[in-house]
């Protein structure tokens, strides 16, 4: 069974049709890259996967949890969203670390509050994950004392402390100095090797080409092409994909 299954997803903002009838599957342990021109709906799609954005039509299934915008009660929807989010880690373009907490405190907060773990248990796990992303020496620093790359690595470690089945990234390296992009992509590469299921919205075409198992191309709210990277980057079927790739390469 696939890790994520999206069928006939539709979403509109007032008069703007942001997502039109989108369907795709994400297989376990695969890395899926979502590309497309600015404003085509990449972030919106990703945010629909963890319920930060509610959609109007269609269905999202993530593991055992199926999200459908039928007329479930508000309360039922809220619990469903919470269960969903426990299964999904999210990494943002602007890191969104909690500035009033140290890196370590950032990483233990959710396990303690949501999973009711003891501090000692949560810290042990957090320390291991922070060490894994190369922040062993920076655990007691505040986010404002870190570089952008360090902050994004801390944010990834924070998401991993909740032991998600799927990791979502919304342009994780777009706010970074080019010299720092590598360290963040490196971690995602490592997670891929370890078998994590990941969905990445990105403009890093080289990364998408080398690491992704599948590339989705969005255009004006439509999924115009979904295929292996070799196909997308070497022989795209859709004229619009070709135009988009030409414009950025």
Ligand X SMILES: Nc1ncnc2c1ncn2[C@@H]1O[C@H](COP(=O)(O)OP(=O)(O)OP(=O)(O)O)[C@@H](O)[C@H]1O
Interaction site with ligand X (CB under 6 A): 13, 16, 18, 38-44
Verify binding: residue 86, another protein, rule CB under 8 A. Answer: yes
Q: Which listed option, another protein, ligand X, Mg ion, none, makes contact with residue 162 (CB within 5 to 8 Å by class)?
A: another protein
Q: Which listed option, Mg ion, ligand X, another protein, none, makes contact with residue 41 (CB within 5 to 8 Å by class)?
A: ligand X
Distance in angstroms (rounded) separating the CA atoms of residues 20 and 17? 7
Which CB sits closer to Mg ion, 40 or 139?
A: 40
Verify binding: residue 64, another protein, rule CB under 8 A. Answer: no
Question: Which member of 32, 43, 152, 198 binds Mg ion (CB under 5 A)?
Answer: 43
Please state the closest distance from residue 62 (CB atom) to Mg ion, in A.
Answer: 20
Please tell me what DSSP assigns to residue 64: T
Distance in angstroms (rounded) separating the CA atoms of residues 223 and 60? 15
Which CB sits closer to another protein, 116 or 234?
A: 116
Region near Mg ion per CB under 5 A, out of 4-12, 43-51, 178-186, 205-213: 43-51
Contact 146, 138 (CB under 8 A): yes
Contact 51, 66 (CB under 8 A): no
φ/ψ of 192, rounded to 5, equals: -65, -40
Write out the two tokens for 228: 């292996």
128-150: buried (b, 16+ CB within 10 Å) or exposed (e) per residue?
ebbebbbbeebbebbbeebebbb
Binding mask 44-63 for another protein (x = CB under 8 A): ------x-x-----------
Which CB sits closer to Mg ion, 43 or 241?
A: 43
**Cα angle 158, 164, 169; round to 5:** 65
- H-type helices in 29-133, by residue range? 42-49, 74-87, 103-113, 119-132
**Under DSSP, is residue 80 helix (H, G, I), strand (E, B) or coil?**
helix
Binding mask 218-247 for another protein (x = CB under 8 A): ------------------------------
Q: Are strands 57-62 and 4-13 parallel, antiparallel or unpaired?
A: antiparallel
By CB under 8 A, the residues from 149 to 188 that bind another protein are 155, 158-159, 162
Question: Which member of 92, 169, 233, 244 binds another protein (CB under 8 A)?
Answer: 92
Contact 89, 159 (CB under 8 A): yes
Q: Footprint of Mg ion on this chain (CB under 5 A)?
A: 43
Q: Footprint of another protein on this chain (CB under 8 A)?
A: 50, 52, 78, 82, 85-86, 88-90, 92, 94, 96-100, 109-110, 113-115, 141-142, 144-145, 155, 158-159, 162
């Amino acid at each position: 069974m696939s890790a994520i299954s999206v069928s006939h997803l539709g979403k509109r903002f007032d008069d703007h049709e942001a997502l039109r009838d989108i369907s795709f599957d994400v297989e376990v342990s695969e890395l899926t890259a979502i590309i497309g021109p600015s404003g085509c709906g990449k972030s919106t799609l990703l945010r629909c996967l963890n319920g930060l954005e509610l959609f109007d039509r269609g269905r999202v299934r993530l593991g055992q949890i199926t999200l459908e915008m039928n007329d479930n009660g508000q309360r039922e929807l809220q619990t469903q969203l919470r269960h969903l989010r426990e299964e999904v880690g999210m990494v943002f373009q602007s890191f969104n670390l909690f500035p009033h907490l140290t890196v370590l405190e950032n990483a233990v907060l959710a396990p303690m509050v949501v999973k009711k773990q003891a501090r000692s248990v949560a810290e042990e796990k957090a320390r291991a994950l922070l060490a894994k992303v190369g922040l062993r020496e920076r655990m007691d620093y505040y986010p404002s004392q870190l570089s952008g790359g360090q902050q994004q690595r801390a944010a990834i470690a924070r998401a991993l402390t909740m032991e998600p089945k799927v990791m979502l990234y919304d342009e994780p390296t777009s706010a970074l100095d080019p010299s720092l992009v590598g360290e963040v992509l490196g971690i995602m590469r490592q997670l891929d090797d370890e078998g994590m299921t990941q969905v990445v919205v990105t403009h890093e075409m080289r990364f998408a080409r080398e690491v992704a198992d599948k590339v989705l191309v969005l255009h004006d709210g439509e999924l115009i092409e979904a295929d292996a990277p070799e196909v997308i980057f070497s022989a795209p079927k859709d004229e619009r994909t070709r135009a988009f790739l030409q414009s950025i390469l």
